C-alpha cells in the first residue's frame, strides 16, 4: 500500500494505517526530538508524545507539506515545549546515552575509524546549544534545506543561516581542539 493510500485511510480513522506511516518515519521522529533534548529517556517519551499528537491531529493534515515534514514539525514543537517547561528550566541534565547504531559485524579498521569520527561529530553536535544544534541536525542528519527549516521553526532563513554558521564554528573548534593545523573551517553547503 502506498503512503498516500495509508494517509487517506489514517485520516479516516484507520489506526493500523497510521501505525504503518509512523513506523516508516519512526527514526526521523526520534532523531528530531533527540536533536533538541539531551536525555534518551526524554527523547523516547517525546517521540511517543509526537505520535500521539500526530494521531490526534491527523484529520487536520492538509498535505501542504510532506508527511515527514509535518511529523518533524510536531516533533520539534513537542520537544521545544518540553524544554520550556518549568521543570526543565530549573534542572538540566547532560548525559550522552543515545544508543549507537548497531551494525551487526565487527568493523574493519576503516569502518572503526569512521564510526569513531561519526560518534565524535554527533557528540559535538549534541553539546551545542539548542538554537544551533537543531538546524545543524536537520540539515546534516535529516537533509532538510535552510528554507524548510526556516518554515519548520517559523523564523527567517537568515536566522537559520546565522545559527548554522555559529554552530559550525563551535563544532569546528570542538572537533579540532588537538588538531588545529589539520582542520579547515566548516562551511554551509550550497544546497543547504
DSSP type of residue 13: T
Q: Quick one: pLDDT at residue 157? A: 93
- Residue 75 CA to chain centroid, in angstroms? 9
Tell me, yes or no, whether 100 lies in a domain: no
Q: Quick one: pLDDT at residue 188? A: 53
pTM: 0.56
Q: What is the residue whose three cell numbers read 497510521?
A: 18
Dihedral class, residue 17 (left if φ above 0, else alpha if ψ from -120 to 50, else beta): alpha
Residue-number span of the structural domain to which 74 is assigned? 3-90
Q: Quick one: pLDDT at residue 177? A: 62
Q: What is the C-alpha to C-alpha distance for residues 181 and 188, in angstroms, rounded to an integer?
A: 21
b vs e for 131-166, b when ≥16 Cβ sit within 10 Å of the residue's Cβ?
A: bbbbbbbbbbbbebebebbbbbbeeeeebbbebbee
Tell me, yes or no, whether 188 lies in a domain: no
Does one domain contain both 20 and 81? yes
With contact defined as beta carbons under 8 Å apart, do 74 and 53 qualify? yes
Altogether, the residues listed in the chain come to a count of: 192
Q: Please state the domain count of the chain.
A: 2
Tell me, yes or no, whether 185 lies in a domain: no
Tens digit of each residue's pLDDT, the chain (192 residues): 888 899 889 999 999 999 999 999 999 999 899 888 877 888 889 999 999 999 999 988 888 888 998 999 999 989 888 877 755 554 444 334 444 444 445 456 777 777 777 788 888 888 888 888 889 888 888 888 899 889 888 899 999 999 999 988 888 888 776 444 445 555 555 444
Does one domain contain both 141 and 172? yes
Q: What is the C-alpha to C-alpha distance for residues 135 and 161, in angstroms, rounded to an integer?
A: 9
Beta strands in 61-146 (DSSP E): none
Q: Quick one: pLDDT at residue 39? A: 79
Q: How far apart are the first and last CA of the chain?
A: 32
Does one domain contain both 77 and 121? no
Does one domain contain both 83 and 159? no
Burial of 101 (0-12, 13-18, 19+ CB in 10 A): exposed
Looking up residue 79, the CATH number of its domain turns out to be: 1.10.1740.10
Q: Quick one: pLDDT at residue 55? A: 93
Tell which of 90, 124, 139 closes a domain.
Answer: 90
Amino acid at each position: 500500500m502506498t503512503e498516500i493510500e495509508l494517509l487517506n485511510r489514517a485520516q479516516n480513522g484507520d489506526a493500523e494505517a497510521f501505525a504503518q506511516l509512523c513506523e516508516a518515519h519512526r527514526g526521523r521522529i526520534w532523531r528530531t526530538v533527540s536533536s533538541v533534548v539531551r536525555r534518551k529517556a526524554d527523547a523516547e517519551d517525546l517521540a511517543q508524545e509526537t505520535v500521539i499528537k500526530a494521531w490526534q491531529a491527523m484529520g487536520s493534515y492538509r498535505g501542504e507539506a510532506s508527511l515527514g515534514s509535518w511529523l518533524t514539525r510536531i516533533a520539534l514543537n513537542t520537544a521545544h515545549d518540553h524544554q520550556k517547561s518549568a521543570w526543565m528550566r530549573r534542572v538540566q541534565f547532560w548525559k550522552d546515552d543515545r544508543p549507537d547504531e548497531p551494525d551487526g559485524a565487527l568493523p574493519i579498521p576503516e569502518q572503526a575509524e569512521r564510526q569513531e569520527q561519526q560518534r565524535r561529530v554527533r557528540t559535538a553536535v549534541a553539546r551545542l546549544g539548542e538554537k544551533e544544534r537543531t538546524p545543524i541536525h536537520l540539515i546534516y542528519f535529516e537533509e532538510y534545506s535552510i528554507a524548510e527549516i526556516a518554515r519548520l521553526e517559523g523564523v527567517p532563513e537568515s536566522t537559520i543561516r546565522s545559527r548554522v554558521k555559529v554552530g559550525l564554528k563551535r563544532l569546528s573548534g570542538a572537533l579540532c581542539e588537538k588538531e588545529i593545523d589539520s582542520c579547515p573551517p566548516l562551511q554551509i553547503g550550497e544546497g543547504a
